[in-house]
Each structure stands twice: as structure tokens, then as C-alpha cells.
């Protein structure tokens, strides 16, 4: 009798070391309610097919298993979740059926119903034949064997507990081997590792009798490699610095030409392009017109909605005006809410038509996306190069006078300096 007891104690001790079972068991008095579990029908023999490597599963099942693995959980919430999943069990695939049986078994184990626990776990074991070994080796799936070992041990079925723990170790080894394989495959993709492996292969193929010579050659080769690496790294660093310098230079050059807010040409670019065009068109006697635009009551937009909204309105207006411009036109921001456009090969009538389209496009645009509820309008002054003696500043000044005339006439309109000049001439006469 004493020998048997010692033997039994040794087996139990070995099992405890092997399984590492230290799960806390939730104690609850009373009988299990019938709605707490859904007994899955026994798995019938089916035509054997090669299992898919990884079947998808409902994330609610993994969440349920995470809750059941905690020491404390809400029984009502678990009951409700199991009841909800039971209503959908008919549509579950093999992986979902497996996880649902595992969850029911864990819940039964928490409620100390070992018979129910083992029943669910054994059904899951039968169902596992329909799943791939790779999927069964995943942490969420492989826990079946360790919790089943706990259940068998609690039910004093030590041999089955040992076998379940061994299956767990097999799954763990598969999982670890798969992860190791993935890690090795990933590392092999690295060019430097392949280079070192090739170097090691060459070294192992060398004759042992020439070992010293090989070591010397290898040292020289390593030194050359280091020198080459240093030279290459220096060259790459130099190239990167040059590229960075060029990029910075381009960016600075762009900043000297482009308005940082709207992305159109800035004041400096406008005057440079204007002076250039004036010279060309004066020599060739071609038509040249300037538009000067100013957003109406823009200060009230900044005051009422903030400068951030005002900036968004400026950006959108610049986009709308750019859409109206021809490819050869030059559009720029002078500053604040004031813009200018250079229209080569455009007479007074053509320029005024373009200005009218701009006026209409801005007035009809819905700026409520920027929280601006009222209509945004603009006043536009048009000035055409009337004589070869006019400078760019003269034309811009004429357009400015026409634009302010548009403001005085009620805003949201186009005024041509040509008409102002005629009116002044008429009054003089």
C-alpha cells in the first residue's frame, strides 16, 4: 500500500512539473443552467479533405476566450455572449466550432462541472482533425490541450492529462518551429546575411593544408572589404549631402518664386515676369493685359471666423482662379487678399471676359465647408497696355485704380481702366 501511494505521489509530482498546471478554479455552488451551454452535436464522419491552413473566425470568440482566461469575469455577460453565439453556431466553420467548444468547456471548468468540461474538450479534439496543424499550433487554439490536461488531472485521469500535455507540447513545438522558420526565411532575404553565408561556404571548402594562407588571404580580403565599405559609405554620404544641398537649394529657389500659403507665384515673381513680358510685347506690338483682384470684406472673414478659416478661403479662391486661367497666363498673390494675373495676347474684351468668369466662379462657390455662411465675392480691375511707353508699374497702377473703382461701385464687379480713361477724356472735353 505504501509503495503504491509513493508511486502515485511520484506520478502526480512528475505530472505537475510536466504540465505546469497552476490555474485557479472558479468555485460556484448550484447546478448549471441549461441555457449556459449549447451541446454541439457529435462530429460525423465526412469525406476527408485537405484542411485549409488558416480558417477565419469571429473575433467575438477570441474575446470570449480572453474573458474566460481571467480570474474574475462577469457571469451574466458570459451567459449572454454564449447564448448569442449559440444562435449563430449553425453557420460556424470548423475553426469557429472548435473555439466555441473550447469556450464552453472553459466556462464549465470555471463552474466546476468537470464532466461537461471534458465532454466539450473531447468534442473539440474530434473536430480538430478538420483543422490544419499550423492553425492548431496558434496560441488561441493550442490552449485546448493544456486546459484539457488540467481538467483530466482534476478528474484524476492522470494518464489522459499527461497525454494532453504532451499534445500541447507538440503544438507548441510546431508553433515554435513555424515561427523559427519564418524568422529564418526573413533573415535569408537580407543581402548581407546571404553574403556572409556565401563567404562561410567558401571558407569551409578550403583545404586544411592551406589554412594559414587562407586566413591571411581572408584577413586581406576583410581589410579590403572594410576599406571598400568605408570608401563606399563616404561616397554615399557625399552624394546624400549633395542631393540634400540641391534639394534645399531648389526649395529655397521655389520659396523665392512661390507663395507659401496658396502655392501660386508670389509678388517677386509677378514683377519679374511682368517686366519680362512688357519688354517682349512692347517690341512685338502684342496685346498685354493685367488683372488686379481683391476679395471683398475679407477682414470680416478673419474677424468673424479666424485667420485659419481666412487662409482656407484664400487657398480655395486661388484654386478657383487658377482653374479659370489659361496655360500661358501668370497668376500670383500680391499679398493679403490681393491677387494679380498677367494675360499675354489678351485684348481688353478678352481679359474682361476672363475676369467675369472669375467673378462668377467665386461668387457661386459654396464656402460653407469652411464654416463661412455668407457669399464670398471679389472686385477686379482690368488694365491693358495702351502704348509702348507704359511700364509694368504703370499698367499695374491703372489696374489698381480700376479695382478700387469697382470697390466704390458696390464690389463684386469688374471695372476696366479703359472705361475710366474714356470717361475722364469725355469729362475733359
Long-range contacts of 39-45, Cβ-Cβ distance < 8 Å, separation of 24 or more: 39/119, 40/89, 40/97, 40/100, 40/101, 40/104, 40/120, 40/123, 42/123, 42/126, 43/123, 43/126, 43/127, 43/130
Please tell us whether the domain made up of 267-428 is placed in CATH 3.30.70.270: yes
Task: Output the pLDDT for position 323.
Answer: 94
Give the torsion sign (CA, 362, 366, 367, 369): negative
For residue 313, what pLDDT is reported? 95
Q: And the C-alpha cell for 66?
A: 480572453
Longest dimension (CA), the chain: 139
Contact between 167 and 137 under an 8 Å Cβ cutoff? The reply is no
pLDDT given at position 254: 61
Neighbours of 45 (CB within 10 A): 5
What pLDDT sits at residue 58?
Answer: 85
pTM over 0.85: no
Residue boundaries of the structural domains of the chain? 2-185, 267-428
CB atoms within 10 A of CB 347: 14
Q: Express each pLDDT in 114-142 by its tens digit.
A: 888 888 888 988 888 888 888 887 888 87
Cell of 156: 484524476
Q: Are strands 330-335 and 288-295 parallel, antiparallel or unpaired?
A: unpaired
In this predicted structure, what is the pLDDT of residue 20?
A: 38
- pLDDT of res. 138: 83
Cβ(321)–Cβ(341) below 8 Å: yes
Q: What is the pLDDT of residue 21?
A: 33
By the 8 A CB rule, do 185 and 151 touch? Answer: no
Helix (H, G, I), strand (E, B) or coil at 205: coil
pLDDT in tens, the chain (429 residues): 333 433 343 334 333 333 333 333 233 323 333 333 344 444 444 433 455 678 898 888 888 888 888 878 788 888 888 888 888 888 999 888 888 898 888 888 888 888 888 888 889 888 888 888 888 878 888 778 777 777 787 777 777 767 766 766 676 676 667 667 777 777 877 777 877 877 777 777 777 878 888 888 888 888 888 999 999 899 988 898 888 888 777 776 666 789 989 999 999 999 999 999 888 887 777 889 999 999 999 999 999 999 999 999 999 999 999 999 999 999 999 999 999 999 999 988 999 999 999 999 999 999 999 989 889 999 999 999 888 788 899 999 999 999 999 999 999 999 998 888 777 767 665
Bridge partners, residue 37, by sequence: none
**In angstroms, rounded to a whole number, what is the distance separating the alpha carbons of residues 101 and 123?**
7
DSSP string computed for 234-249 = HHHHHHHHHHHHHHHH
Amino acid at each position: 500500500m505504501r509503495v503504491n501511494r509513493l508511486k502515485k505521489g511520484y506520478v502526480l509530482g512528475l505530472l505537475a512539473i510536466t504540465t505546469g498546471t497552476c490555474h485557479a478554479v472558479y468555485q460556484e455552488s448550484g447546478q448549471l443552467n441549461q441555457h449556459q451551454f449549447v451541446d454541439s452535436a457529435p462530429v460525423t464522419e465526412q469525406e476527408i479533405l485537405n484542411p485549409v491552413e488558416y480558417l477565419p473566425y469571429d473575433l467575438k470568440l477570441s474575446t470570449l476566450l480572453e474573458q474566460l482566461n481571467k480570474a474574475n469575469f462577469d457571469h451574466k455577460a458570459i451567459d449572454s455572449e454564449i447564448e448569442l453565439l449559440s444562435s449563430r453556431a449553425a453557420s460556424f466553420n470548423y475553426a469557429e466550432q472548435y473555439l466555441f467548444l473550447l469556450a464552453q468547456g472553459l466556462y464549465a471548468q470555471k463552474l466546476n462541472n468537470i464532466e461537461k468540461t471534458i465532454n466539450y474538450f473531447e468534442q473539440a479534439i474530434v473536430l480538430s482533425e478538420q483543422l490544419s496543424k499550423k492553425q492548431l499550433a496558434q496560441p488561441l487554439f493550442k490552449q485546448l490541450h493544456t486546459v484539457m490536461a488540467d481538467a483530466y488531472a482534476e478528474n484524476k485521469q492522470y494518464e489522459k492529462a499527461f497525454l494532453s500535455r504532451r499534445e500541447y507540447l507538440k503544438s507548441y513545438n510546431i508553433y515554435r518551429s513555424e515561427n523559427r522558420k519564418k524568422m529564418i526565411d526573413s533573415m535569408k532575404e537580407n543581402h548581407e546575411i546571404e553574403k556572409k553565408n556565401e563567404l562561410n561556404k567558401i571558407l569551409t571548402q578550403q583545404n586544411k593544408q592551406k589554412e594559414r594562407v587562407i586566413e591571411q588571404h581572408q584577413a586581406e580580403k576583410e581589410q579590403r572589404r572594410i576599406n571598400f565599405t568605408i570608401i563606399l559609405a563616404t561616397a554615399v554620404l557625399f552624394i546624400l549631402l549633395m542631393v540634400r544641398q540641391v534639394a534645399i537649394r531648389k526649395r529655397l529657389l521655389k520659396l523665392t518664386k512661390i507663395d507659401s500659403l496658396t502655392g501660386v507665384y508670389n509678388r517677386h515673381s509677378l514683377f519679374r515676369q511682368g517686366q519680362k513680358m512688357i519688354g517682349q510685347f512692347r517690341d512685338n506690338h502684342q496685346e498685354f493685359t493685367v488683372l488686379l483682384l481683391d476679395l471683398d470684406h475679407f477682414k470680416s472673414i478673419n474677424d468673424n471666423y479666424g485667420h485659419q478659416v481666412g487662409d482656407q478661403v484664400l487657398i480655395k479662391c486661388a484654386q478657383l482662379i487658377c482653374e479659370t486661367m489659361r496655360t500661358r497666363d501668370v497668376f500670383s498673390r500680391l499679398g493679403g487678399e490681393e491677387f494679380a494675373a498677367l494675360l499675354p495676347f489678351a485684348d481688353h474684351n478678352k481679359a474682361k471676359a476672363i475676369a467675369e468668369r472669375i467673378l462668377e466662379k467665386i461668387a457661386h462657390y459654396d464656402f460653407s465647408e469652411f464654416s463661412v455662411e455668407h457669399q464670398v465675392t471679389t472686385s477686379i480691375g482690368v488694365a491693358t497696355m495702351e502704348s509702348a511707353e507704359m511700364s509694368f508699374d504703370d499698367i499695374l497702377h491703372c489696374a489698381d485704380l480700376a479695382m478700387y473703382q469697382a470697390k466704390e461701385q458696390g464690389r463684386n464687379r469688374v471695372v476696366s481702366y479703359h472705361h475710366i480713361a474714356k470717361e475722364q477724356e469725355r469729362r475733359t472735353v
